[in-house]
Structure 1
Amino acid sequence: MAKQYLTDQFLRNEGGNGKRVEIYDKHDIDPETQRLKRKGVKGLLVRITKAGNKYFYFNYWHNGKAKKYKIGDYPDIGISEAREIARKIKAQVNEGIDPQAEKNKRKQAPDPQTFKELAEEFTEKYLPTLREKTRKEYKRIIDTELTPKLGKYPIKDITPNQIISLLDAKAYGKKPAPVMANRIRARLSKIFNFAIDRRLIDSNPVEKVSKYKKTKQGKDVEQKRNRYYKPEEIQNLWEHFDNWSEPTGSVLKMLLITGQRKTETMQMKWDDIRGDVWTIPAELAKNKEEHLVPLSPMALEIIEEMRPITGETDYVFCSPKEDNAPMKWLTRARVTIQEKSKVSDFRPHDLRRTVATYMAKLGVDRTVLGKILNHKSLAGDDQVTAIYDRHGYEDEKRQAMNRWSHKLKQILEEKETKIHKIG
């Protein structure tokens, strides 16, 4: 029985050599120290066919019988996602549940849920978590734009082409409204993600539908946001981050310290941190390429403060509501900070733009800045440089991150100095 700590690089390069093989996931041990570096999941395996196709399975025992649960195809499902699914299956087995039998029951369900039924459940369970203004806008879009067009269809049967047709009518109709089409698209995507969380469907058809470009003429134009925060605003925001419950407060601080994307940061795993480097896996990164983020002492301090709180889970910023799952939303924090701080237009994404702006002011080279933000166009990557330069600039990135960390500390200490002077 072949064993290997499964990685994207290994799976990409492994071809099966003309015969079917099964390779089990195992722990990664440092050969020099003999210490555990990364945890595999016992029972998880990848099957590689003669043709080179790869499928994830989970092996388990139930009532004295060996069973195999198919998780999905690689690379449609990445190794991190496969491990996460395998852990959930393992938890079911430990509770005496047969996951494969449950899966078969779902397949035999007589009537798939319609979009109208899904929308009603979404309205009942999700909308109450939103502020009133946002809730009303969701309800309006569901009642006037979505349910009349999609309501009668089973959610499993709704295709990207149906969605494109619905959105095109809004974007290119008698009164072209591409921005509103994008907003409808966003709300619809949220509803399908809600269905995925409840195991009603396996994938979100909206993800295969592109956003619409804004018109150059007319009122339906969404201005490109270029907001970044001044020192006084940073001080005010940090105070609110400090007073927020964990792990939300630390996530917001990490966004301002590292300048990384919100979703990638919220899904940071303990296994992804090695020394002072955080590795964002390819399947999680926006450009689908592994991204290395040097961590300043300020960032490492935040992470270590989380260890007593979430150290027994997989995620540094583990959800306080779900067992061993990452945080998914910062909506409540965003709304509250807008209402109670002096930064009434606060958005978490502006923290990323703030980091980029200050780094540029500090003289960080544009290419290095692009590498830090994992932004290809800013880094100047083309197809050639992307191949030969993928793992470069680590020293330059680390210097830039430390430079920004030092500047951020100065900004925060200036407020402390002012407070002491007044006192």
Structure 2
Amino acid sequence: MPKKKLTHQFIEALNAPEKPTTYYDETEKGLQLRLSKAGTKTFTYRYYFNSKQRRIKIGTFPAKSLKEARKDVTKIKAKVDMGIDPQAERQKRKRETDPETFKEVAQEFKEKYLPTLRETTREEYKRIIDVELVPKLGKYPIKEISKNQIISMLDDKAYGKKPAPVMANRIRARLSKIFSFAVNRGLADVNLVSSIPKYNKTKKGGKVEKRRNRYYKPEEIQDLWEYFEQLNEPTQSVFKMLLIAGQRKTETMQMKWEDIRGDVWTIPAALAKNKEEHLVPLSDMALDLIEKMRPVTGDSDYVFASPKLDNQPLQSVKRAVRYTKKDSGVSDFRPHDLRRTVATYMAKLNVDRTVLGKILNHKGLAGDDQVTAIYDRHGYMKEKRQAMNRWSNHLQNILDGETKANITKIG
């Protein structure tokens, strides 16, 4: 880049170049004249702050004269000598005078917060932000959005032409996260969403639906298992594994062969809901099921590999759920109820509540606080293994028609 003792006459005579050109002033070190292909002449100043190079725009010639640009450089140098970063100071002033819109905050939220979440969760956040929130709130400065404005938006989703209280609650939860993010960065004064109550989930006719606590009785387990065996692989084995091991559906569907070591299945931290590695002891029943998958999916990384996509896990069981509801005799079947069924029967089998929580990787059920969660992270393997084997034996007895135990519900 050329160095030049800049003068008013020299700058004035410059014509638009074929490519952008920068001239370094020999008189005032750090002062630059940047000449764009369109012929725009811009003064900038390059300096170092905390050992990092910075560049700040001073102004455009001829509105900003060379003499004025050099005076500005003197002022900028003085601030740097005082330990003030002029560029950061200018950006702060801009934020204070030009409040960030909700759309800008949401974009920053996506860039900085979403990478910490699981891929499936990230996609749901993005969908709600892009489809539900930005179109309605995007243009407003986040500090000017009112509580009534938020309530009106959520009410419209919960009670509108197509009432969707569950989705309204999801939107509310995502919006609350964004406001908390903004408050932590000084972009908003308060989280307006935290004081807005959740919506009750309702059935047809407007009756409030109670929190689901469905579990399956022995005869229903028999009917479901018999129907599962009519489903194609790997769906039938996914459903069976949910009932054998009691883990979450997404974690189970993404089980990898490399995650199985002996009789222990390791659910990676990146996949686990609480972002901590989870060790699941596998009963003989679970190991037999996994081994039967090897001729079917052994060439894939995934135990329950997609039959349609190359080296990808099974993507969805929605169609199988629909068929199971229709034809199994259990018309209200849901995959998550299999996990609740495991928890309910284990409680009946006198599995300690803490051990049960460790098996399900459910901190609330395990009674973990921050200290005990860290202390016990690699513990309870012996107790978990005993509990899993106890449940596996009981499940086999149910399938063989040898028990009809009365079970106490676990929510």
TM-score, length basis structure 2: 0.54
CA 387–346 in structure 1, closer or farther in 2 if over 3 Å, else same: same
Distance in 1 between residues matched to 2:197 and 2:308, nearest whole Å? 35
**Aligned residue among 164, 167, 175 for 1:180:** 164
SS in 1 for 2:266: strand
Matches within 5 A, 1:334-373: 334-373=321-360
The structure with the largest alpha-carbon Rg is: 2
**In the alignment, structure 1 residue 400 sits paired with structure 2 residue 397:** no
CA 315–216 in structure 1, closer or farther in 2 if over 3 Å, else same: closer
**Aligned residue among 204, 212, 215 for 1:228:** 215
CA 321–175 in structure 1, closer or farther in 2 if over 3 Å, else same: closer
**Aligned residue among 203, 210, 213 for 2:198:** 213
Match of 2:98 in 1: none
Distance in 1 between residues matched to 2:386 and 2:401, nearest whole Å? 23
SS in 2 for 1:279: strand
CA 75–348 in structure 1, closer or farther in 2 if over 3 Å, else same: closer
Distance in 1 between residues matched to 2:307 and 2:371, nearest whole Å? 44
TM-superposed CA distance for 1:221, in Å, is 4.0
Deviations 1:305-328, CA, capped at 9 Å, x for gaps:
111111111110011121111112
Match of 2:124 in 1: none
TM-superposed CA distance for 1:249, in Å, is 0.2
**Aligned residue among 201, 221, 244 for 1:257:** 244
Match of 2:115 in 1: 76
SS in 2 for 1:324: coil
TM-superposed CA distance for 1:243, in Å, is 0.9
Deviations 1:91-135, CA, capped at 9 Å, x for gaps:
xxxxxxxxxxxxxxxxxxxxxxxx9xx99xxxxxxxxxxxxxxxx
Distance in 2 between residues matched to 1:187 and 1:338, nearest whole Å? 29
Match of 1:171 in 2: 154
Deviations 1:242-282, CA, capped at 9 Å, x for gaps:
11000000000000000000000000011111000000011
Deviations 1:370-401, CA, capped at 9 Å, x for gaps:
00000001000001101111111000000000
TM-superposed CA distance for 1:180, in Å, is 2.4
CA 245–389 in structure 1, closer or farther in 2 if over 3 Å, else same: same
**Aligned residue among 294, 318, 327 for 2:314:** 327
Match of 1:285 in 2: 272
Deviations 1:63-88, CA, capped at 9 Å, x for gaps:
xxxxxxxxx9999379x98xxxxxxx
**Aligned residue among 223, 233, 245 for 1:246:** 233
Paired amino acid for 1:312: D
Match of 2:254 in 1: 267
Distance in 2 between residues matched to 1:174 and 1:186, nearest whole Å? 11
Q: Is residue 257–residue 301 contact of structure 2 (8 Å, CA) maintained in 1?
A: yes
**Aligned residue among 134, 140, 150 for 2:135:** 150
Q: Is residue 165–residue 200 contact of structure 2 (8 Å, CA) maintained in 1?
A: no
TM-superposed CA distance for 1:415, in Å, is 7.8
Distance in 2 between residues matched to 1:328 and 1:166, nearest whole Å? 37
Match of 1:310 in 2: 297
User: Structure 2 stretches of 5 or more lacking a match?
Assistant: 1-110, 120-126, 174-192, 404-411
Identity of aligned residues (%): 61
Q: Is residue 181–residue 212 contact of structure 1 (8 Å, CA) maintained in 2?
A: no
CA 312–174 in structure 1, closer or farther in 2 if over 3 Å, else same: closer
CA 165–402 in structure 1, closer or farther in 2 if over 3 Å, else same: farther
Distance in 2 between residues matched to 1:404 and 1:232, nearest whole Å? 16
SS in 2 for 1:312: coil
Distance in 1 between residues matched to 2:169 and 2:314, nearest whole Å? 23
CA 358–245 in structure 1, closer or farther in 2 if over 3 Å, else same: same
Distance in 2 between residues matched to 1:363 and 1:349, nearest whole Å? 22
Q: Is residue 324–residue 331 contact of structure 2 (8 Å, CA) maintained in 1?
A: yes
Distance in 1 between residues matched to 2:369 and 2:280, nearest whole Å? 21
Deviations 1:43-76, CA, capped at 9 Å, x for gaps:
xxxxxxxxxxxxxxxxxxxxxxxxxxxxx99993
Q: Is residue 306–residue 314 contact of structure 2 (8 Å, CA) maintained in 1?
A: yes
Deviations 1:189-238, CA, capped at 9 Å, x for gaps:
9xxxxxxxxxxxxxxxxxxx999734599957442000000000000000
CA 174–413 in structure 1, closer or farther in 2 if over 3 Å, else same: closer
Distance in 2 between residues matched to 1:272 and 1:387, nearest whole Å? 22
**Aligned residue among 203, 221, 237 for 2:224:** 237
Paired amino acid for 1:213: K
CA 378–259 in structure 1, closer or farther in 2 if over 3 Å, else same: same
Distance in 1 between residues matched to 2:231 and 2:402, nearest whole Å? 19
SS in 2 for 1:278: strand
**In the alignment, structure 1 residue 300 sits paired with structure 2 residue 287:** yes
SS in 2 for 1:268: coil
Q: What RMSD in Å do the two structures reach over aligned CA positions? A: 4.1
Distance in 2 between residues matched to 1:287 and 1:214, nearest whole Å? 25
Q: Is residue 258–residue 401 contact of structure 1 (8 Å, CA) maintained in 2?
A: yes
Q: Is residue 244–residue 342 contact of structure 2 (8 Å, CA) maintained in 1?
A: yes
TM-score, length basis structure 1: 0.53
Paired amino acid for 1:401: M
Q: Is residue 182–residue 212 contact of structure 1 (8 Å, CA) maintained in 2?
A: no
Q: Is residue 319–residue 325 contact of structure 1 (8 Å, CA) maintained in 2?
A: yes
- How many aligned residue pairs are there? 256
Q: Is residue 154–residue 172 contact of structure 2 (8 Å, CA) maintained in 1?
A: no
TM-superposed CA distance for 1:186, in Å, is 6.2
Distance in 2 between residues matched to 1:175 and 1:311, nearest whole Å? 46
Matches within 5 A, 1:3-22: none
Distance in 2 between residues matched to 1:337 and 1:166, nearest whole Å? 42
Q: Is residue 305–residue 314 contact of structure 2 (8 Å, CA) maintained in 1?
A: yes
Distance in 2 between residues matched to 1:399 and 1:367, nearest whole Å? 14
CA 404–166 in structure 1, closer or farther in 2 if over 3 Å, else same: farther
User: Structure 1 stretches of 5 or more lacking a match?
Assistant: 1-71, 82-114, 120-145, 154-158, 190-208, 417-423
